[in-house]
Structure 1
Amino acid sequence: MYKFEKVGQDFYGVRTPSEIRLIYGGKCPRCGHEITVPNLEDINIKPKKKIPAVL
Structure 2
Amino acid sequence: MAIVYKCKGCDSELYKFEKVGQDFYGVRTPSEISSIYGGKCPKCGKKLNPPSVDDVNLKLRDRKSGSF
Into which bin does the TM-score normalised by the smaller protein fall? Answer: 0.5 to 0.7
- The question of 1:30 aligning with 2:59 is answered no
Count of aligned residue pairs for this structure pair: 45
After superposition, the CA RMSD in angstroms is 2.2
Instruction: Output the amino acid matched with 1:14.
Output: V
**Residue 39 (structure 1) shift:** 1.1
- Give 1:48's aligned residue: 61
- Residue-by-residue CA offset, 1:1-34 (whole Å, 9 max, x unaligned): 3545xxxxxxx21211111112322101222122
Which ranges of structure 2 fall in alignment gaps of 5 or more residues? Answer: 1-20
Which ranges of structure 1 fall in alignment gaps of 5 or more residues? Answer: 5-11
* Bigger Rg over Cα: 1
**Residue 45 (structure 1) shift:** 1.7
Change beyond 3 A, Cα 1:51–1:39: same
Q: Which 4+ residue blocks in structure 1 deviate beyond 6 angstroms?
A: none
Q: Following the alignment from structure 2 to structure 1, what is the Cα–Cα distance between the partners of residues 23 and 50?
A: 25
Q: Which has the higher strand share?
A: 2
- Give 2:8's aligned residue: none
